[in-house]
Structure 1
Amino acid sequence: MSLLPHLDVQRVIDTLDAWIVDRPGQVILCFLLVSGLFVAGLGAGGTDSGTDQFTQDVPAEQALQEVNDNFERITFGDDSGTTQLIQSGTNVLSKPELLRMLRAQNRLSEDDDLQVTRTSSVARAVAQTLDPSADTIDDEIRAVERATPGEIDRAVRTTVSSEPGLRALLSEDYNARSASASATIGTVSHRLPGGASEGPGTSGSSPLTSIQLQAQYIVQSVGGDITVFGSGITSEELGNVINDSLQLVIPAAVALILLFLIVAYRDPIDLLLGLVALAMTMLWTFGFMGLAGIAFSQLLVAIPPLLLAVGIDFGIHAINRYREEHVGDVGVRDAMRVTTDQLLIAFFIVTGTTVLGFAANLSSGLSSIRELGIVAAVGIVFTALVFGVFLPATKVYADCWRERLGLPSFGSAALGDERSLLGRVLPVGVHIARNAPRAFLVLVIISTAFMGQYGAGVDSRFTQDDFLPPEEPPAYLEYVPEPFRPGDYTVTETTNFLERNFQTGEEDTTTVYVEGPLHKDYALEALWRAGESPPGSFVDDDGHARETSIVTVIRSYAERDPEFAALVARNDRNDNGIPDDNLRTVYAALLDSPARDRALNYITDDYSSARIEYAVEADASQEAVTEDTREVADRVRFEATATGGVIVLKAVSDVIGESAFRSLVIALVAAAAFLVVVYGLLEGRPSLGLVNVLPIAVTVAALASTMRFLDIPFNVLTGTSLSIAIGLGIDYSAHLLHRFVEEYDESTDVDAALLSTVRGTGGALTGSMLTTVSGLGVLWLAISPILGQFGLLIALSVLYSYLASILVLPTTLVLWDRYVSAGAGRALAGEWVEYQP
């Protein structure tokens, strides 16, 4: 009685053979009709170039959105956005420069499309010092125009000294004696009825984008060196960087891929068929995305390289194997029948393991990574159908017509022929396996363990800088012809300029979002006590965290309003300035005072939620700020969530790291189980499934150690590289292993079987590897750092997979033949043989 019945797939294969070989025209027509259906889905899913797609699933981001919804919009009535005007020059506090800033803000305010609600700048404050009666920016402009340079210098010194908050809007080189500074920042607030993104990411569809792009043209008309900056501009450049990167690397990738495909196919008709199959695979996949409503994003830029990698491999294998059979008197149909008999099973094995490798990303906590897993898995299935059925059918159809018309064929010899240089080099792994298999296997295992331990230290990071271009464009861009040359980018330069010139140097902020019945008598005392004995990354003010909250608003207003101070004192039982009785009355009085707007920034008008902002050291790490904020949140008596930009980015980094590890484990386990079952069902040799896993383990360990050595962290794109390496790596070893099984069944001489395998299938693998590595490695030239890193890692994963398959797999197969197939393992294999009653 068998453990599992032997699976008879020959009937299915014979049916597909009959369609491919005997009815190729009908097969081609069916695939063209399906392609027409997918054409309808092209572009229907839209695009998403914002980075907020990676933060929306994180609890800290959801809490931050609640903070924004409950507090930020209260001040303005609608969602709001802010534009910064960064002015630089010899002295931005001189009369001409002050006038430029005022005129820029004035023109922006007069444009109704920009929905300006307020503006602020050092220039406006100085103008109001010159003329306290100035009610409009026009009045302020006239005040500055009438003033002498000496009066302006005195006004600057007076204004900055009396309003310390303005110092943060001036560059660090501000000199009070000369009343000069090389840079300043003005702000413009906008009303955004359509909604805005206030999280740490940027949204590609924010109305703030169009507003800030329009503001650029208006500010340019003023003259001077004033840069418009904000999340909308950043979002626009994120999209431009991705598009320009693709515009730059796709032609280069296509040229390299085409070059190597010409070398691999060496026949114009075969080359054309391969390119049509690749195009059909892309069409089906992107059509599916549109029909499924999946938007094209930065992360899904990985899909075309993946499909190219697998599609090129499948195409070269199909054509190369057909050429091996189409020799002598063997006809077109007979050769293809033998080819599909062998390749369809190999394609099934490769597709199953590759799909499992990509689908492992469904375990991620980020929806964008889950979408990548779905699209990649579906795309690989489409690739198998196109190259396993459509390409062989078109090859039969084309070669039959070629014979009828008497057209010659070119380059019909298979890659890896034993008489070629490649055919003499490929068996190096077989020679190692023949002479020292055990010593080599021990060396491989030790090396893999070392690389795995070293690679386990790969960092995980998520910052907007991952998506931005470098401040200085790469030198090679000077040699790019005009149609493909990317545009100019300012965001990175502007960001670095701000960091260099406007560092306040001491502190940043983090937020705790509190929900609960804040009208309870103990509520304010509980909020305040959370900040006592602050953790290390928090700014310490005499044993208490430096905070801004409803408590500090109450204390501040009590200092200015005697009547409110008396109300607080009557309800303050321990005389610490924090009321702990009749809080509804205290809140009502505060919200009915001039301090209402400020209070509503820290507590909702129904007293059900509040936010507390804590100052943290500017040089504190994301990890330290996150841990310390969570510690303080745990002290709050109510339900409290640590949030803020730093914490959201750290949370995304954590999810990426966890997803990378989880998907790696799932992909390895699922692929190993699948291979064991498949080889047990199809060949009666389940142990071969485990043999197939070792080269993949070597590939993953080598890739992880390379990432750490090159300081490439896990981010939203590279975090998928390990599971992708499994998917692509199994592709190579599975093709070799399946070919070995065929050769081994015909002759139990393991050396002969391995030589035929590495020269036949190994030759096709070599062509596929060279094409894929060169075509995808060109992504390293992308302007976007994240795309460059991803392209490099995918190219390395393919190279490592190829080398592991050619060098390591022969050794494991020799030892498998010696200790499993010919020994105790043969009895286990026999249990999988089909039971015949």
Structure 2
Amino acid sequence: MIEYQRYIDAVDVWITERPHAVVIAFLLLTAIFAVGFTNISAESGTSQFTEDTPAQDAFDEVNQRFTPPFEETNGSTRLVQSGSNVLTKDELLAMLEAQQRLKERERFRVVSTSSVARIVAQTLDPSATTLDAQIRTLEGATSTAIERAIRTAIAGSGFTDLLSEDFNRQSASASATIGTVEHDVPRGVSQSAGTSGSDPLMDIQTNAQSVVTSVDSDIRVFGSGIVSAEFTNIIFDSLIIVVPAVALLILAFLVFAYRDPIDLLLGLLSLVMAVIWTFGFTGLAGLRFTQMLIAVPPLLLAVGIDFGIHTINRYREERIEGTAIAESMRRTTDQLLVAFFIVTGTTVVGFAANGISDLGPIRQFGLVAAVGIVFTFLIFGIFLPAAKVGADRLRIRFGIPEFGRRPLGSEGSLLGRMLTIGVVVARRAPSALLAVTLLVSVGAGFYATGVDTSFSQDDFLPPEDPPDYIGGLPEPFAPDSYSVTDTTNFLDERFATTQDGSVTIYVDGRLHKDSALESIQRANQDPPPSLTPVDREVDAESILTVIRDYADQSAEFARLIERNDADGDGVPDDNLRDIYDALLDSPYRGQALRYITEDYRCTQVVYSTASDASQDEITRDARTFVDRYRLPAIATGQTIVLQAVSDTILESAIQSLLTALVVTVLFLVLAYYVIEGQPSLGIVNLAPIVVSVALLAGSMRLFGIPFNALTATILSITVGLGVDYSAHFVHRFTDEYTEHTPLYTALENTVRGTGGALTGSMLTTTTGIGVLILAITPILGQFGLVVALSVFFAYLTSILITPSAIVVWDHLCD
């Protein structure tokens, strides 16, 4: 054992003899950290998770290489129109009028538009090239003429792609269509697989909706700017709803736990300080506030509430025996600072284990949460005891009565009798209980292997049908109306492919080799099912597409192709450099540079994907498909990037859990060796945590909760939070178990002494964090549920299993 008491004694001097100095120092630090709030900036969306992934790096390189340097109009807005038949005269006119109204307003920076309505109008009058002219053309056309124009336009390229799958050629009808509007915005917008709140299209598209709504038709605006706006709004709307609910529930349970207004005030002040310190640090460190960090305050509350209740409860145990204020607090801190240190160390390990994740937001979450727990330890381990000493001395001086002197779970109370159930079982059949627990844990762990893994922007967006309580909330709690999920579901249902329904094969090699284009052609001959849209042949766009288009327009270029096509399949296999040179010297240069670089080293091939194919199927098929290319190639695109993140999430969850378990075991063994000279107590301390992790993982599958960006952190967090409960139990037992106190008496004293505080902490934390299920975004609701389950399982296993584990440990040590 190492002598550590002198350090605690030094802290005790400040707490009991200079409490006002401690309080003032902590309040000054709080003011300093509060300044950091002004530096906090928000980051939302999925792009934060995709940064630095190989698939995203390839996707970024594709966008950089194949966007011509002179092109600035890559900001696109989709106008999604629906109705009984969007090909009627009135509906076609409505689309043109919506596009015209957007073009007339300079702030929308419209440079071009396209739609079925424009194609039909130009089919009626080829000279009608402007929106004004096309509107006049349609206004003067009869319904019969418009139907004939539609049937003529069907033969053209791309017409049916803009119509829903229920398009009927005979009746010239469809229930939905998509028009596009291109904006002059900085190049590179909307090119990443994710979307963040910095998207410059946000202002354009959010304001465009009100303009489009003025048209007498069901047309909605959709694009990355709309998604970005909802990503940003959902953070604040969720906080506005959840924070008051959390505060009310926690307040209610803290009133029950403290039963004294002054103690309640001190406890709440300490909780607020922990949050201010943590997010003040976040701002001072220049870290962005992301959706994942919304989960940090509940975790701080979980640990802070536990620390606060234990401090006040343990202090009351001494005071009710008639011990003086200073001595009561000395005895309290002598015991709890050690327990708090163990809890803090293991909890920090649990959070910090997320630092090994390959995903930046998860690493940042682990860092901020770990730092927050250290702050919580300092505030509740030093500030709260000092404030309590100072408050009680002032209470005596001014004659203010105490309202809640009796500790929770005291002998004779109903709670005290219920808490001894674990001790009763430990007296009769401790080994049997541990054997059953082992079987249940193994079964739950095996069942948990079927937990799904997911990652998509839908995790961060509100559901299509928000809960009923959302609609009844008054201002300022009433959230904005959300449309992204509804629109994306509508697009998935009505259209075979959308803008995200594609996979890009990025090829980097000597494209002027004679076999280069032939290898691309051969790869396209037998694509996997997921890269073949339903009822269509493979839909691939590549440099071959541009070569064929130009050959159809230029007889001279067609002859060049023919001279260099040895096998007559329409794909040149000789003198490819001459083919590329001629193409880049033609009017098709701009189109060619979308698929090949000027040094003829890199190319992209874009494949449309089947609408019913899953993200996993598309990724798996695309990665296998890449092997057909003779030149070095990599599969990328939004679907590939998101699936890569999904795979990383599962890996991170497993790696973080194993890291947390291993490091926690080492920490506990070392801590109990240093503190008690009994390293094996560290194993006893960990036993209920392993059970908690297994039960939680099995519950996630039972309740259909997947491993996503936020819940992937929960297994390692469960280790940290779970040790919180078992460490208090085991450490209190070591204090009670002396030469003069028998084993079972020590267990009963432990259960009554610390079990009441654990119960109060569990009830407050599970209900407070469980309120996250009210959050509008699904990922927060799921996280709230799994954290609440984690705390409940940690409490249950500590009360029921730890006594039996201690009994078995004691028998083995004899």
Q: Place the TM-score, normalised by the shorter chain, in its bin.
A: over 0.9
State whether residues 496 and 533 of structure 2, in contact with CA within 8 Å, keep that contact through their aligned partners in structure 1.
no
Other-structure match for 2:444: 451
Q: Deviations over 1:739-768 (max 9, x none)?
A: 011111364511011101111111000000
**What is the CA distance between 1:384 and its match in structure 2?**
0.2
Between 1:305-314 and 1:744-753, the stretch displaced more is 744-753
**What is the CA distance between 1:559 and its match in structure 2?**
3.6
3-state SS of the aligned residue for 2:737?
helix
**What is the CA distance between 1:203 and its match in structure 2?**
1.4
One-letter identity of the residue aligned with 2:228? S
Q: Summarize the Cα distance change of 1:534–1:123 in structure 2 as closer, same or farther, 3 Å threshold.
A: closer
Separation in 1 of the partners of 2:608 and 2:334? Answer: 69
Q: Summarize the Cα distance change of 1:515–1:406 in structure 2 as closer, same or farther, 3 Å threshold.
A: same
Q: Structure 1 unaligned runs (5+)?
A: 1-5, 823-837
Q: Deviations over 1:559-605 (max 9, x none)?
A: 43221122223333444333333322211111122322222221112
Separation in 2 of the partners of 1:128 and 1:772? Answer: 65
One-letter identity of the residue aligned with 1:578? V
Q: Does structure 1 residue 372 correspond to structure 2 residue 365?
A: yes
Q: Does structure 1 residue 343 correspond to structure 2 residue 336?
A: yes
Q: Does structure 1 residue 62 correspond to structure 2 residue 25?
A: no
**What is the CA distance between 1:558 and its match in structure 2?**
2.4
Q: Does structure 1 residue 684 correspond to structure 2 residue 677?
A: yes
**What is the CA distance between 1:533 and its match in structure 2?**
4.5
Q: Deviations over 1:420-465 (max 9, x none)?
A: 1100100100000110011111000111011111112211111111
3-state SS of the aligned residue for 1:40?
helix
Q: Deviations over 1:793-831 (max 9, x none)?
A: 0000000000000001000000011112x1xxxxxxxxx
Separation in 2 of the partners of 1:580 and 1:193? Answer: 38
Q: Does structure 1 residue 511 correspond to structure 2 residue 504?
A: yes
One-letter identity of the residue aligned with 1:329? G
Q: Deviations over 1:237-290 (max 9, x none)?
A: 122223222211211111110000000000000000001100100000000000
Q: Summarize the Cα distance change of 1:269–1:541 in structure 2 as closer, same or farther, 3 Å threshold.
A: closer
Q: Which residues in structure 2 correspond to 1:281-680 (within 5 Å)?
A: 281-503=274-496, 508-531=501-524, 533-539=526-532, 547-680=540-673
Out of 27, 36, 46, the position equivalent to 1:32 is: 27
One-letter identity of the residue aligned with 2:484? V
Q: Deviations over 1:96-127 (max 9, x none)?
A: 22222111111212222222221001111111
Separation in 2 of the partners of 1:111 and 1:476? Answer: 39
Between 1:622-631 and 1:603-612, the stretch displaced more is 622-631
Q: Structure 2 unaligned runs (5+)?
A: none
Other-structure match for 2:72: 78
State whether residues 351 and 366 of structure 2, in contact with CA within 8 Å, keep that contact through their aligned partners in structure 1.
yes
Q: Summarize the Cα distance change of 1:197–1:538 in structure 2 as closer, same or farther, 3 Å threshold.
A: closer
Separation in 2 of the partners of 1:44 and 1:746? Answer: 56
Out of 269, 273, 280, the position equivalent to 2:266 is: 273
State whether residues 448 and 698 of structure 1, in contact with CA within 8 Å, keep that contact through their aligned partners in structure 2.
yes
State whether residues 75 and 600 of structure 1, in contact with CA within 8 Å, keep that contact through their aligned partners in structure 2.
no
Out of 10, 14, 22, the position equivalent to 1:15 is: 10
Out of 106, 109, 119, the position equivalent to 1:112 is: 106
One-letter identity of the residue aligned with 2:59? L
State whether residues 533 and 611 of structure 2, in contact with CA within 8 Å, keep that contact through their aligned partners in structure 1.
no
Q: Deviations over 1:124-183 (max 9, x none)?
A: 111111211112111111111222233223222322x22252112223343344433332
State whether residues 325 and 335 of structure 1, in contact with CA within 8 Å, keep that contact through their aligned partners in structure 2.
yes
Between 1:104-113 and 1:616-625, the stretch displaced more is 616-625
Q: Summarize the Cα distance change of 1:309–1:194 in structure 2 as closer, same or farther, 3 Å threshold.
A: farther
**TM-score, normalising length from structure 1?**
0.94
One-letter identity of the residue aligned with 2:71? G
Separation in 2 of the partners of 1:693 and 1:635? Answer: 50
**What is the CA distance between 1:504 and its match in structure 2?**
5.5
Q: Summarize the Cα distance change of 1:542–1:201 in structure 2 as closer, same or farther, 3 Å threshold.
A: closer
Other-structure match for 1:227: 220
3-state SS of the aligned residue for 2:662?
helix
3-state SS of the aligned residue for 1:512?
strand
Separation in 2 of the partners of 1:218 and 1:606? Answer: 45
State whether residues 20 and 393 of structure 1, in contact with CA within 8 Å, keep that contact through their aligned partners in structure 2.
yes
One-letter identity of the residue aligned with 2:21? Q
Other-structure match for 1:257: 250
One-letter identity of the residue aligned with 2:648? V
Separation in 2 of the partners of 1:540 and 1:196? Answer: 27
Between 1:299-308 and 1:640-649, the stretch displaced more is 640-649
Q: Summarize the Cα distance change of 1:638–1:158 in structure 2 as closer, same or farther, 3 Å threshold.
A: closer
One-letter identity of the residue aligned with 1:124? R
The total of aligned residue pairs comes to 814
**TM-score, normalising length from structure 2?**
0.97
Q: Which residues in structure 2 correspond to 1:93-104 (within 5 Å)?
A: 93-104=87-98
CA RMSD in angstroms, aligned pairs only: 2.1
Q: Summarize the Cα distance change of 1:107–1:479 in structure 2 as closer, same or farther, 3 Å threshold.
A: closer
One-letter identity of the residue aligned with 1:20? I
Separation in 1 of the partners of 2:197 and 2:773? Answer: 24
Other-structure match for 1:50: 45
Separation in 2 of the partners of 1:758 and 1:481? Answer: 45
One-letter identity of the residue aligned with 1:126? V
Separation in 2 of the partners of 1:131 and 1:623? Answer: 46
State whether residues 68 and 198 of structure 1, in contact with CA within 8 Å, keep that contact through their aligned partners in structure 2.
yes
Q: Deviations over 1:463-491 (max 9, x none)?
A: 11112222222123344334322222111
State whether residues 534 and 543 of structure 1, in contact with CA within 8 Å, keep that contact through their aligned partners in structure 2.
no
Separation in 1 of the partners of 2:405 and 2:527? Answer: 76
**What is the CA distance between 1:191 and its match in structure 2?**
2.3
Other-structure match for 1:832: none
One-letter identity of the residue aligned with 1:567? L
One-letter identity of the residue aligned with 2:634? T
Separation in 2 of the partners of 1:623 and 1:95? Answer: 42
Separation in 2 of the partners of 1:427 and 1:566? Answer: 93
Q: Summarize the Cα distance change of 1:532–1:102 in structure 2 as closer, same or farther, 3 Å threshold.
A: closer
